[in-house]
């Protein structure tokens, strides 16, 4: 378990220090609490709380939060704002059938296109050819850091901003993704692979796909900006709360 200490120094500056990694026998709340108690006792520190919303952490009765508050009522629990933001976006999105289906199709695209080393190589080679052609036609600028090789990124519900990165990578690699899917539709090793590619290609030509692709890109772009602000090392809780209120007033989250 990694332990990070955040505190305010005598000049009012927020500091964050990596304390170290300690061994735990398992991830139960009891073992986590015992380990944290040992670390804080060794360092002669009082206890505050800040972590994600996993059940073994925030559980109302047996979670780490509850166990600590039983002994120290002044220990303030803070659920990571950036993690909350990610979970809210994913949770709300999955309540809408159209958006939920869009993300399911997005996951299939990543699985099918990245399903073998050969398909991954096809994606990179197709991208390289397109970039070279665009540079030759004067459609792309050249320079340090430009036109870097990219790949499809898999979305993870508990990873900050991963859905936004997945959508961005798909938009950047859309011609190459279609090229690989068309290949799988014709030359796939199994009927299941070929049918999957056929279904994805058919869906990608619908109005629903185009609409949800651009809608979710716009929404997740806003929330990605907010998430990065919330993750700044010098961000204080009052400023973070204020930023969330601003985004809520604009109907973003």
Q: What was the pLDDT predicted at 146?
A: 45
Whether residues 159 and 200 fall in one domain: yes
Q: What was the pLDDT predicted at 40?
A: 80
Residue 2 per-residue DSSP state:
E
Q: What was the pLDDT predicted at 207?
A: 94
Q: What was the pLDDT predicted at 203?
A: 93
Whether residues 90 and 73 fall in one domain: no
Q: Which residue has the tokens 């909350």?
A: 84
How much helix, strand and coil, in percent to the nearest 5, is found in the chain? 60, 10, 30
Q: What was the pLDDT predicted at 61?
A: 43
Q: What was the pLDDT predicted at 169?
A: 87
Other Cβ atoms within 10 Å of 35 Cβ, number:
16
Q: What was the pLDDT predicted at 160?
A: 54
**Which residues are paired to 20 by β-bridges?**
3
Spans in the chain with pLDDT lower than 70 = 46-63, 65, 73-84, 86, 134-151, 156-161, 229-253
Last residue of a domain, one of 53, 79, 105: 79
In contact, 170 and 213? CB cutoff 8 Å: yes
Q: Which residue has the tokens 């925030």?
A: 58
Based on the structure, what is the number of domains in the chain?
2
Task: Tokens for 178, please give them.
Answer: 């279609």
Whether residues 103 and 210 fall in one domain: yes
Task: Tokens for 156, please give them.
Answer: 């993870």
Whether residues 88 and 51 fall in one domain: no
Whether residues 191 and 234 fall in one domain: yes
Cα distances (Å, whole numbers) of residue 181 to 69, 116, 252:
54, 12, 34
Whether residues 89 and 49 fall in one domain: no
Q: What was the pLDDT predicted at 198?
A: 93
Structural domain harbouring 213: 84-249
């Amino acid at each position: 378990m990694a332990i990070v200490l955040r505190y305010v120094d005598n000049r009012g500056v927020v500091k964050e220090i990596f304390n170290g990694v300690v061994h735990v026998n398992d991830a139960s709340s009891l073992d986590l609490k015992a380990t944290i108690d040992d670390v804080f006792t060794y360092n002669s520190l009082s206890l505050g709380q800040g972590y994600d919303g996993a059940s073994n952490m925030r559980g109302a009765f047996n979670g780490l939060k509850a166990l600590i508050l039983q002994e120290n009522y002044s220990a303030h629990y803070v659920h990571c704002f950036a993690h909350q933001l990610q979970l809210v976006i994913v949770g709300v999105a999955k309540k809408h059938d159209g958006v939920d289906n869009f993300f399911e199709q997005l996951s299939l695209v990543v699985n099918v296109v990245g399903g073998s080393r050969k398909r991954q190589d096809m994606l990179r080679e197709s991208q390289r050819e397109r970039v070279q052609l665009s540079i030759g036609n004067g459609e792309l600028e050249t320079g340090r850091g430009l036109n870097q090789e990219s790949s499809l990124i898999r979305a993870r519900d508990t990873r900050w901003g991963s859905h936004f990165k997945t959508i961005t990578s798909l938009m950047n690699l859309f011609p190459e993704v279609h090229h690989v899917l068309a290949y799988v539709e014709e030359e796939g090793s199994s009927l299941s692979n070929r049918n999957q590619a056929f279904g994805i290609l058919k869906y990608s030509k619908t109005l629903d796909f185009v609409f949800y692709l651009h809608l979710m890109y716009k929404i997740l772009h806003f929330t990605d900006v907010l998430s990065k602000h919330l993750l700044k090392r010098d961000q204080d809780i009052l400023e973070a709360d204020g930023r969330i209120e601003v985004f809520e007033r604009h109907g973003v989250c």
